[in-house]
C-alpha cells in the first residue's frame, strides 16, 4: 500500500513541476515556434507523470484497481494526440505568415517549400498537384 502511494505521489509532484516549467517557457520564449517547442514537450511529459501517478496513488490508498486502467487510457490518449495538435498548429502558424524570431539561424521548412516551388517553375511540364494534400 505505502510503496505505491509514495511512488504515485512522487510522479504527481514531478508532473506538476513540469506543468509549471511549461507555463514558464510559454511566457519566457521570444517566438511562437520556441514557445510551442518548450511548452508542448514538457506539458506532455507532465501529463504522463500526473495521470499515471494519480492512478498509482489511488491504488496505493486502497481504491479499486480500475483506477490504474482508466488513468493509463487517458495517458496513452494524451501521449498520442498532443504532438499531432502541436504539429498542426505550428504548420498553420508558418503558413499563415507568422515571422521567425530575428535570432533564428535555420529555417528548414522554408527552404523545403522554396525548393519545391523552384522545381515546379523549372519543369512546368510536370503538373503540380493541386489540392493533393487536402
Partner 1 sequence: MIGLNVYLALIAIATLLSMYRVFKGPTTVDRLVAVDIMTTITTGLMVVFALYYGRMIYISVALVYALLAFGGVIAFARYLEGGL
Distances (CA, A) of 54 to 15, 71, 80, 88, 93: 10, 8, 19, 30, 35
Distance CA 86, CA 98 (A): 15
The packing angle between helices 32-60 and 66-95, to 10°, is: 180
Examine residue 96 and tell whether it contacts partner 1 (CB under 8 A): yes
In angstroms and rounded to an integer, the radius of gyration of the C-alpha atoms of the chain is 21
Figure out which of the listed residues 17, 112, 116, 128 binds partner 1, where binding follows CB under 8 A. 17
Q: How many CA atoms lie within 13 A of 131 on its CB side?
A: 0
Interface mask (CB under 8 A) for partner 1, residues 34-63, using x and -?
Answer: -xx--xx--xx-xx--xx--x--xx--x-x
Sign, Cα dihedral of 49, 51, 56, 60: positive
Examine residue 73 and tell whether it contacts partner 1 (CB under 8 A): yes
Least Å from the CB of residue 123 to partner 1: 26
- Report the residue number, 7 or 23, with the smaller CB distance to partner 1: 23
Judged by the rule CB under 8 A, the positions of this chain that interact with partner 1 are: 9, 12-13, 15-17, 19-20, 22-24, 26-27, 32, 35-36, 39-40, 43-44, 46-47, 50-51, 54, 57-58, 61, 63-64, 66-67, 70-71, 73-74, 77-78, 81-82, 84-86, 88-93, 95-96, 98, 134
Amino acid at each position: 500500500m505505502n510503496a505505491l502511494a509514495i511512488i504515485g505521489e512522487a510522479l504527481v509532484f514531478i508532473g506538476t513541476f513540469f506543468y509549471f516549467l511549461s507555463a514558464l517557457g510559454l511566457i519566457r520564449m521570444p517566438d511562437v515556434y520556441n514557445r510551442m517547442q518548450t511548452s508542448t514537450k514538457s506539458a506532455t511529459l507532465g501529463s504522463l507523470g500526473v495521470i499515471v501517478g494519480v492512478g498509482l496513488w489511488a491504488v496505493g490508498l486502497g481504491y479499486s484497481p480500475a483506477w490504474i486502467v482508466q488513468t493509463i487510457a487517458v495517458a496513452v490518449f494524451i501521449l498520442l494526440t498532443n504532438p499531432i495538435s502541436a504539429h498542426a498548429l505550428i504548420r498553420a502558424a508558418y503558413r499563415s505568415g507568422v515571422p521567425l524570431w530575428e535570432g533564428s539561424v535555420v529555417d528548414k521548412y522554408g527552404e523545403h517549400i522554396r525548393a519545391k516551388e523552384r522545381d515546379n517553375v523549372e519543369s512546368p511540364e510536370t503538373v503540380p498537384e493541386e489540392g493533393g494534400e487536402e
